[in-house]
Amino acid sequence: MRTLYKACLLGSTMMIGFSAPALAGHEGHAEHTGHSQGYHDHNAASSPVPLAVMGDHVHGKGDWMVSYSYSHMEMKGNRQGTDSISPQEIVTTITNPNAPPPTLRVVPTKMEMDMHMFGAMYGVTDKLTLMGMAMYMKNDMEHLTFQGMAGTTELGRFTTRSSGWGDTKLSGIYNVYTQDNIALNLSAGISAPTGSTKEEDDVLTPMNTRPTLRLPYAMQLGSGTWDALLGATYSGHKNQWNWGAQYKATIRMESENDQGYRLGNKHGITAWGGYKFTPSIGISGKIDAAYQGKIKGSDANITAPVQTANPDNYGGKTVDVGIGLHYTPQYHAFEGVEIAAEIGAPVYQNLNGVQMERDWNFGLRLRKSF
């Protein structure tokens, strides 16, 4: 919670820092960004929309948008379904499917995930926009190892790490309906398996050895399968307000990847509202509901007596909330630029089997349309 407070403080300090010169400066360029081409152009892109909402808008023919987003997520502690479970309970009650030993011996205690996303959008026509995205990821997972085949004697702690490029996404967004201040956009795309599924690192075993092993599914960088990306977004705006709802799905198009498994399909719905206090400063609030299935199949190289090595301990239902601060500078030199910062936290988590629980997340997004 202390870190959450710090992130929040950092976010607001940054926004205030950025906004001060804008308030003092000339705001005369506000009307300049609202091109006469209609809602689908810069207007849509300058409304305060949460970071997780992607592919919600189209651009006018020949228009570009480039973006960089950073996101940080922390997970701490474990839960079984909706209830917290301690490391000691895990190693005495949860069976190890890769026996022996009969119960789990290693428990993840904390995970940090950092993601850098680079995106580009291009308006092929006024109705159709193409969107491409590449991401660089870094994962850290801390563990507690218990000694021997049974019992609750702690042997030691270790951290595994993985980093590299993740899967690469390409989508088309089509504006099926626009009237006055509302729009309905559909998107369809593919995710190419450019992320590694063979990341390894050193681990501390219950027998006090330190072999290098294939890391569990959660630490791998890509799905390993070609995936279909589908989405539908309804959005509207009136005066200083904007709102919307988006459905997004990731459907695995192959029954298994080269390692013998496939990740669960994902379905999510986000609803949001935004408000602009001035042409340059806005806020957004959102609620996300997400469902992901279990992993089907398994990687024969992932066998450690840890919950993350069991494909059944993946997926579940989660509900998250988040608030964002959005800054669109009103200087001519920064036309089409938006800077946004967001913090979020889960309000409901019902996880399959035993899993680490999400704690909070922070995101930053820089984008420019031209």
Residues engaged in binding Cu ion (CB under 5 A): 45, 65, 121
CA 71, CA 115: separation in Å to the nearest integer?
5
CA 250, CA 229: separation in Å to the nearest integer?
5
Beta carbon of residue 124, minimum distance to Cu ion (angstroms, whole number) = 13
Q: Which is nearer to Cu ion, 279 or 336 (CB)?
A: 336
Q: Which is nearer to Cu ion, 65 or 111 (CB)?
A: 65
Q: Which is nearer to Cu ion, 272 or 314 (CB)?
A: 272
Q: Which is nearer to Cu ion, 45 or 309 (CB)?
A: 45
Is residue 40 within 8 A of residue 183, CB to CB? The reply is: yes
CA 112, CA 157: separation in Å to the nearest integer?
16
Q: Which of 210, 317, 327 is nearest to 269 (CA)?
A: 317
Is residue 138 within 8 A of residue 160, CB to CB? The reply is: no
Q: Which of 77, 220, 96 is nearest to 144 (CA)?
A: 77
Beta carbon of residue 67, minimum distance to Cu ion (angstroms, whole number) = 7
Q: Which is nearer to Cu ion, 187 or 197 (CB)?
A: 187
Q: Which of 92, 114, 110 is nearest to 101 (CA)?
A: 92
Beta carbon of residue 66, minimum distance to Cu ion (angstroms, whole number) = 9
Query: What is the token pair recorded at 25?
Result: 């400066």
Beta carbon of residue 290, minimum distance to Cu ion (angstroms, whole number) = 23
| C-beta nearest to Cu ion: residue | 65
Cβ contacts of 177 within 8 Å, gap of 6 or more: 183, 184
Beta carbon of residue 8, minimum distance to Cu ion (angstroms, whole number) = 27
Beta carbon of residue 183, minimum distance to Cu ion (angstroms, whole number) = 13
Q: Which is nearer to Cu ion, 47 or 220 (CB)?
A: 47
